[in-house]
Amino acid sequence: MRYNIAVFASLPNPSFDKDRSLTNRAFEYAIIEEVMKHTDIYDALNDQALLNTQLTVCGWIRSSRESKSVAFVELNDGTTLQRLQVVLNKERFPEPAPFLKLGMALKIKGQLIPSQGKNGGVELEAEQIDILGDCPPEYPLQKKRTTLDYLRTIPHLRLRTNTFNAVFRVRSVLAATIHEYFQARHYVYVHTPIITASDCEGAGEMFRVTTLPWNSEFKTENDYFANDFFGQKAGLSVSGQLEGEVCAMAFGKIYTFGPSFRAENSNTPRHVAEFWHVEPEIAFAELPDIIEIIEDMIKYLVENVLKKSRTEIEFFDKHYQNGLIEKLERLLQDKFGVVTYTEAVDMLQKCGEKFQYPVDWGCDLQTEHERYLSEVAFGKPVFVTDYPKEIKSFYMKQNDDGKTVAATDLLAPGVGEIIGGSEREANLDKLLQAMQARDMSVEDYHDYLDLRRFGSVPHGGFGLGFERMLMYLTGIENIRDVILYPRVVNKIF
């Protein structure tokens, strides 16, 4: 990190420099910046120009060892997965032990020199060491390799491990790459509301937003809601799609990228109650266009994350999913599979596999069915299309067969559904019919229905579960390990 304000510090002492109107406060800051001025370990390891210069680094001790004449400290400051080896020569530091405690925060000034070890690279020959923060032996990250289950119990400290450093570095790169993809293609990034009055998916999984405890003086539920903060029932959005459609009818192509909330009672490795959701919506597009965009986007994300986060993906390949890189590279070569729901049901019935849940036309596909399709039958990501209308949402375009809707789920090996999308019903009468069949209140969706009244066009979109995409990219098998603080049924971590 390089501080602009540090320029103050290089001035002569302001007390001798009366012309300069530096306030005492600014000067105080200047002193602090001077004291903490340091080089990122990322730069120390990668910037050739720094070799054989004196520099200061800061970081936490990840490991240390001592031999007869020297002690070694592996320092990490979070700017890279890699650690900088620091050498403490015992001639200069005859008692190195107080500087060698795991988890301790140090500031070290020294000479960056070619490493004396067999692995090459650089190391820092320490000249001056300041202890910024001591770390007692009860520091919980003692063992070399702790389990993910254990680390989940210390979410505030697990981030200091290699695994979580790598996860969050990929998470950050993936988020930026998503923006890059849509921005380069003229999509408008919109921020849809988080508090909403409409349940987009109609699955009754909305968290309620209220300031009012129930009170027996309210005669009806409506009376209660009318007295609440918003004067009506409100909840946390399960999806920004409906507002996304409003935007797409004005800006043509839009995307949202924000949190969605689901009060699903699903205690699985793939569900969290608060997840991040990428939802593009495209005007003048039908289901085959949506499928094409999804495949193009996924391939762009995989290709670019592979390039930008190579070190991290190699780490996951080595420690979490052998063959990960090969899997991702193969994805770029192959066309994704496409199968209709009806064909998929047929395949599942005839495959001879013993499933826990029987498969009949009209049933929702279970995880075991989705896994069979993507992992065994296709061995790659597969689009399942044209689901029975009864198991999908009201807004999906009804197909001519009267039984199915123009929807698609993208199933990815190892994760299952990572995307759900569809063409939307653009015909007002058909949309009204679908809402009536579900006993939905037409008044509540007045604005949404207006989109079909005023210049309705074929359009569609999809929702990508950001954490599920991360699971696919990293090979991490539990969604709780790719999000900072998981919120799940019965627990707020």
The residues, ordered by sequence, that sit 6+ positions from 79 with a Cβ below 8 Å of its Cβ are: 40, 41, 42, 43
Question: CB nearest Mg ion: which residue?
Answer: 420
Question: For ligand 4AD, which is the closer residue by CB, 40 or 467?
Answer: 467
Span of 113-121, 160-168, 313-321, 460-468 interacting with ligand 4AD by CB under 6 A: 460-468
Q: Binding string, 222-261, against ligand 4AD, x = CB under 6 A?
A: -----------------x-x--------------------
Does 110 contact ligand 4AD by CB under 6 A?
no
By CB under 6 A, is residue 461 in contact with ligand 4AD?
Answer: yes
CB of residue 403 vs ligand 4AD: minimum separation in angstroms? 20
**Which range, of 17-25, 117-125, 267-275, 357-365, touches ligand 4AD by CB under 6 A?**
267-275
Q: How many C-beta atoms surround the C-beta of residue 323 within 10 A?
A: 10
Task: Say whether residue 413 binds Mg ion (CB under 5 A).
Answer: no
Among ligand 4AD, Mg ion, none, the one that 279 touches (CB under a kind-dependent 5 to 8 A) is ligand 4AD
Residue 413 binding partner per list ligand 4AD, Mg ion, none, with a CB distance cut-off of 5 to 8 Å that depends on partner kind: none
User: Which of these segments, 96-104, 166-174, 187-195, 269-277, binds ligand 4AD (CB under 6 A)?
Assistant: 269-277
> How many angstroms separate the Cα of 157 from the Cα of each of 101, 153, 275, 311, 484?
16, 9, 21, 22, 11
Q: Which one among 166, 467, 471, 475 touches ligand 4AD, defined by CB under 6 A? A: 467
User: Please, which residues bridge with residue 444 across strands?
Assistant: none
Q: 114 phi and psi, to 5 degrees?
A: -60, 140
**What number of other Cβ atoms are within 10 A of residue 236's Cβ?**
20
* Residues 234 and 210 sit within 8 Å (Cβ to Cβ): yes
- 8-state DSSP, 197: S
Q: Which does 241 bind (CB under 5 to 8 A by kind): Mg ion, ligand 4AD, none?
A: ligand 4AD
| Choice from 416, 420, 421, 475 touching Mg ion (CB under 5 A) | 420
Binder among 59, 96, 202, 421 for ligand 4AD (CB under 6 A): 421
- Based on the shown chain and the rule CB under 5 A, indicate whether residue 465 belongs to the binding site for Mg ion: no
Terminus-to-terminus CA distance in the chain, angstroms? 31
The Cα-based distances of 60 to 64, 128, 226, 428 in angstroms read 11, 16, 54, 61
Nearer to ligand 4AD, 151 or 407 (CB): 407
Stretch that binds ligand 4AD, among 101-109, 167-175, 333-341, 455-463 (CB under 6 A): 455-463
> Which of 38, 253, 271, 371 touches ligand 4AD (CB under 6 A)?
271
Residues near ligand 4AD (CB under 6 A), total: 23
Question: What three-state secondary structure class fits 88?
Answer: strand
38 within 8 A of 107, measured Cβ to Cβ: yes
Query: Is 104 within 8 Å of 86 (Cβ atoms)?
Result: no
Burial of 10 (0-12, 13-18, 19+ CB in 10 A): exposed
CB of 479 to ligand 4AD, least distance (A): 6
Q: Which one of 142-150, 168-176, 312-320, 420-428 is the stretch in contact with ligand 4AD (CB under 6 A)?
A: 420-428
Minimal distance in Å, beta carbon 90 to ligand 4AD? 53
With beta carbons less than 8 A apart as the criterion, state whether 444 and 197 touch. yes
Which distant-in-sequence residues (6+ apart) come within 8 Å of 398 by Cβ?
Answer: 389, 404, 405, 406, 425, 430, 434
| Helices of type H across 256-340 | 287-308, 310-319, 324-333
Pick the closer one to Mg ion by CB: 317 or 370. 370
Q: Read off the tokens for 31.
A: 């002193």
Q: Can residue 419 be called a binding residue for ligand 4AD (CB under 6 A)? A: yes
State the Cα–Cα distance between residues 272 and 479, nearest whole angstrom. Answer: 7
Backbone angles phi, psi at 400, to 5 degrees: -65, -25
Separation between Cα atoms, residue 372 and residue 375, nearest integer Å: 5
State yes or no: residue 458 binds ligand 4AD (CB under 6 A): no
Nearer to ligand 4AD, 80 or 198 (CB): 198
CA 193 from centre of chain: 19
Q: Which residues bind Mg ion (CB under 5 A)?
A: 420
Q: Which residues bind ligand 4AD (CB under 6 A)?
A: 200-201, 239, 241, 262, 264, 271-272, 275, 277, 279, 417-422, 461-463, 465, 467-468
